[in-house]
Amino acid sequence: MAKVKVAVNGYGVIGKRVADAVSKQDDMELLGVVKQHPDYSAKVAVMKGYKVYVPDQASLDNFKKFSVPAAGLAEDLFKSCDVILDCTPGKVGVTYKPLYQKLGKKAIFQGGEKKDVAEVSFTAQCNYDKAKGKQFVRVVSCNTTGLSRTLWAIHQAFGIAESFVVLARRAADPNDIKTGPINSLVPELTIPSHQGPDVQTVIPEVPITTVAIKCSTTLMHMHIIRAKLKKPATKDAVIKVFQNTPRVKLISGVDGFLSTSHIMDYGRDTASLRGGRDDLMKILVWADSISVKGDELIYIMAIHNESDVVPETVDAIRAVMNVCDVKTSMAKTDKALMIGAGEVPAAILVGEKGKETPFLC
């Protein structure tokens, strides 16, 4: 079967990761990436062997001036591909949509775009089939992806009658030196924050209300989830659900995972086992934090906002190209990206059925 020809428009935090990810899939071919400035990221792309296209003539001149080889203009790249991965900044993707339409190309947008940019808002394990064969699909944001993965699993196991989520958001990406706040907490004053309705674009069955605050940190988002279940659960049962949920990993404070810093430290320690990035594409749920009282469930999770949407984007390619089913796609993606490689088992002692699970310390 011919490989799917993929173009990546935008080479920032997400773009460079999906480019790496696509280049590792045996059924895809990365035709090139679009990058505006000839900076260190562009130079690294060239070093990795990616063809770097530019959006316009001005960029072309600039690449030439700084001796960074440009492969041509973005539109030429788009014409020759099967699928465009739009990784431009939020709200910019929608401005490219007319071009993608004109060229008759399929495109996968990111969660910075509004839902109506696409026919389907997508999280592979929740609604892969809905995206099959579509022209425009939106991979939802990192936060929405994390909520969709875990809430969907809980909903299928126990039913969710209502859920309330507080998102403690990292305020800036690690390489963003312009954005604050330094030393402050910034609430999103409109309630619900946009993430709640966004989750429902993927799993409308799950009632959810979200409140978000921005914190002075760059590493990860943290979510505190409280759900009323339709039927009573136990901590053991919830642990088992998460153990069996794709792209979700249980961690434990007992192992020293006491913060988002420790999680990313672990990501760095195990990067060599996953081919070189400290990215953690699974959602990390603290087993210790899982608290169940009858039909009330609480848990805390961390989200690596730079990377959890990367495997989703890869799966979305297979969905729009209609080349295989969800199980096959997710398995291929996870294997190629070595998701789960370098994983250490969480220190969990699952207690007697129906009782609170005792923890190791």
Q: Which residues are catalytic?
A: 142
Q: Which is nearer to its own copies, 21 or 326 (CB)?
A: 21
Q: Which is nearer to its own copies, 107 or 220 (CB)?
A: 220
- The continuous run of DSSP H or E covering 56 comes out as none
Q: CB of residue 55 vs its own copies: minimum separation in angstroms?
A: 17
**What is the C-alpha separation between 259 and 222, in angstroms, rounded?**
10
Q: Which of positions 182-221 make contact with its own copies (CB under 8 A)?
A: 182-187, 189-192, 209, 211, 213, 215-220
Q: Is 58 in the site for its own copies (CB under 8 A)?
A: no
Q: Which of 265, 274, 151, 166 is nearest to 221 (CA)?
A: 166
Look up residue 96 and give its two tokens. 């490219």
Q: Is 75 in the site for its own copies (CB under 8 A)?
A: no
Q: Which of 238, 240, 244, 243 is nearest to 225 (CA)?
A: 238
Q: CB of residue 97 vs its own copies: minimum separation in angstroms?
A: 28
In 3-state terms, what secondary structure has residue 250? Answer: strand
Judged by CB under 8 A, the residue of 159, 275, 340, 351 near its own copies is 275
**What is the C-alpha separation between 226 and 236, in angstroms, rounded?**
17
Q: Which of positions 17-46 make contact with its own copies (CB under 8 A)?
A: 20, 37, 39-41, 43-44
- Phi/psi of residue 283, nearest 5 degrees: -85, 135
Mark residues 234-273: x for contact with its own copies by CB under 8 A, - for none.
-------------------xxxxxxxxxx-xxx-xxxxxx
Residue range at the interface with its own copies (CB under 8 A); choices 112-120, 131-139, 161-169, 328-336: 161-169
Q: Is 86 in the site for its own copies (CB under 8 A)?
A: no
Query: 352 near 295, Cβ under 8 Å?
Result: no
Bridging pattern class, strands 209-215 and 221-229: unpaired
Tokens 């808002």 map to which residue?
Answer: 121
Mark residues 165-184: x for contact with its own copies by CB under 8 A, - for none.
-x-x-xxx-xxxxxxxxxxx
**What is the C-alpha separation between 118 and 344, in angstroms, rounded?**
38
**What is the C-alpha separation between 78 and 31, in angstroms, rounded?**
9
Q: Which is nearer to its own copies, 153 or 264 (CB)?
A: 264
CA terminus-to-terminus distance, the chain: 53
Q: CB of residue 190 vs its own copies: minimum separation in angstroms?
A: 7
Q: CB of residue 352 vs its own copies: minimum separation in angstroms?
A: 19
Q: Which is nearer to its own copies, 222 or 319 (CB)?
A: 222
Q: Which is nearer to its own copies, 51 or 262 (CB)?
A: 262
Look up residue 56 and give its two tokens. 């316009």
Judged by CB under 8 A, the residue of 89, 115, 291, 335 near its own copies is 291
